[in-house]
Amino acid sequence: MIETLKKIWRFAGAERRNINKSLLVGLINAIFRMLEVGAIYVVVQALLTEQTDSTPAWIALGLVLVSILGVAVTKYFSQLQQTHAGYFMSANKRIDIANRLKSVPMGYFNENSLGEITGVSTTILDNVETVAPMVLVDILGGLINAAVFTVMIFLWDWRIGGIVVLGTALYLFVTSLMDRKSRSIAPNRQKSETVMVGAVLEYIQGMSVIKSFNLTGKGDKKVQDALEYNKKSNLALERLFTPYTMAQGIILQISSIVMTGAAVAFWLAGTMSVANALMAVIMSFLVFAQIQSAGSGLSLLRVVSSSIDHAQKMDDIPRLDERGQDLILKKHDIVFENVSFSYENKEVLRNISFTIPDKTTTAIIGPSGSGKTTLCNMMARFWDVDSGRVLIGGHDVRAYTLECLMEQISMVFQNVYLFADTIENNIKFGSPDATHEEVVAAAKKACCEEFILALPEGYDTVIGEGGASLSGGEKQRLSIARAMLKDSPIVILDEATANVDPENEDRLQQAIEALTRNKTIIMIAHRLKTVRNADQILVVNEGRLVQRGTHDQLIGQSGIYADFVLGRKEAIGWKL
């Protein structure tokens, strides 16, 4: 228990101050509660001495009123501080995970389940933010109150105090046994939570495939298995807790009975006054109620502990070296020096070297899987090279901070992702300080204006996650508008016009050419008119640079480029 409380303390980080305040206020709360006991003692003494004046009653009433007011105020502030700590320490962890994910190699997302990351960020940290405050309120509040009661009882009668200490020790011993037993099961419960989130997420994302293959009710076996796994792990945890919880209750009840019996025995033996004996009976209910209040949160302590352990594993995510600097560049030429790279054990790039001069256009072509997109990803440092160097403006990309590096680059992907936000905010994603007028100008250049104004709320229309409510061509044009607005000196276009309808292709091509003038352009393209005007064409095959030159230079050589051009011309000449 103590180790888990320490773990919560360490996890709290900046919120420790609120926990400290809560503990201090909790101590004051316990003192106010003791005034209730004082009021009861005043009444008992008055009844036993048969006092006829109303003074004891007014004293008792005053103590009760002060106690009620003090308990209410201190409980409010104590619970507020603990709840604030619970929610904000989880919020801070989520932000930390989000910031960390920005700087991890993209390969991490290939090797790890999206459900694992999602599960930790949602379900696991939800356990921390909702259960941890309750545990702190119940355990710390109950223990502080029980400690204050026990100290008072010891000062009042050490024999009764000894019974309270013995009962509390037995209670904590059973709690310790429960905690040890739960160590093997609680982590399994947390694992089942992330497995369930991952399975449900995958099922939802693949719903179109499930429907198209008529697998509804059949293709959800993975989800059903995950739900069953989660159910069994939760039931196993409850089955484990139940006998220990019963034992805890029995110990407290027996301790209360023993305390009452001892008080009666001491009174009969003449070693305790009747007033003190009555107070011992009353205290037997109050002190163990406080311990039981603390115990109500102990069963969940292991859940919090394993949740924190699971969340802390995110700190082990590999990060790209961020010891770079914010560099100011005068040129934006790109140089590959003997670059090799592998995905796990599969070699993708093999000893590639080339130079892309500043403010020129370079087209990259090659068969599917030849390494074209990987070359672009190396420039943006989505991955680090296995050997060799990638330089931008004369500096190794590893010498930049990631933020500084990405300020130099705008990217338009073939597979566009848009966020569940307004059209305007999606265009402003790379330039959050842009004005509405600048957004509109970029949208017009990217041929987006017409379809945006046709939407119900225009630029304020909220689109679905991933841009689900838009066509492929509309999403592509929005991503181009986003890159245009960012206006970086290096622009990487990965089949930027692949999903654009023929009516808009020419206008969009003119807009891209106008915007990318005087910039360093790298484009992955398969359309002849896109490629032939490039200052340089790089032909990649099986991870190697096999040809390099202009269209006029390469068209006269036998090889992949000439075959590419011939294939395009034949395709254009096809008729039905």
For residue 98, the domain's CATH number is 1.20.1560.10
Asked if the structure places residue 328 within a domain, the reply is: no
Which CATH number is 382's domain given? Answer: 3.40.50.300
Same domain, 395 and 487: yes
**DSSP secondary structure string, 393-409?**
TTEEGGGB-HHHHHHTE
pLDDT number for residue 574: 36
Same domain, 305 and 340: no
Same domain, 50 and 7: yes
Same domain, 287 and 363: no
Asked if the structure places residue 326 within a domain, the reply is: no
**Helix or strand (DSSP H, E) at 166:** helix 158-182
* pLDDT, mean over the chain: 79
pLDDT number for residue 352: 92
pLDDT number for residue 138: 67
pLDDT number for residue 192: 77
Identify the domain boundary among 253, 288, 316: 316
Same domain, 34 and 77: yes
User: What distance in Å separates the CA atoms of residue 513 and residue 507, rounded to the nearest whole number?
Assistant: 10
Same domain, 181 and 261: yes
Same domain, 362 and 238: no
Asked if the structure places residue 329 within a domain, the reply is: no
Whether 124 and 194 have beta carbons less than 8 Å apart is answered as yes
Q: Which residues contact 45 (CB under 8 A, 6 or more apart)?
A: 56, 275
Confidence of residue 66 (pLDDT cuts 50, 70, 90): very high
Same domain, 392 and 310: no
pLDDT number for residue 568: 57
Asked if the structure places residue 59 within a domain, the reply is: yes
pTM of the model: 0.64
Q: Which residue has the tokens 């040129």?
A: 331
Identify the domain boundary among 256, 283, 316: 316
Lowest mean pLDDT of 143-152, 184-193, 229-238, name the range: 184-193
Domain that holds residue 513: 334-573
Question: What radius of gyration, in Å, describes the C-alpha atoms of the chain?
Answer: 35
**Can you tell me the mean pLDDT for 362-368?**
87
Total domains, the chain: 2
Backbone angles phi, psi at 303, to 5 degrees: -65, -45
Whether 530 and 509 have beta carbons less than 8 Å apart is answered as yes
Same domain, 363 and 442: yes
Asked if the structure places residue 424 within a domain, the reply is: yes
Same domain, 508 and 445: yes
pLDDT number for residue 337: 92
Same domain, 442 and 552: yes
Asked if the structure places residue 63 within a domain, the reply is: yes
pLDDT digits (tens, 9 = 90+) for 13-27: 788 888 788 878 877
Asked if the structure places residue 542 within a domain, the reply is: yes
Same domain, 303 and 362: no
Lowest mean pLDDT of 215-219, 243-247, 518-522, name the range: 215-219
pLDDT digits (tens, 9 = 90+) for 520-529: 989 887 666 6
**Can you tell me the mean pLDDT for 440-468?**
82
Asked if the structure places residue 510 within a domain, the reply is: yes
Whether 419 and 465 have beta carbons less than 8 Å apart is answered as yes
- Kindly tell me if the per-residue pLDDT of 336 is higher than 90: yes
Identify the domain boundary among 316, 344, 367: 316
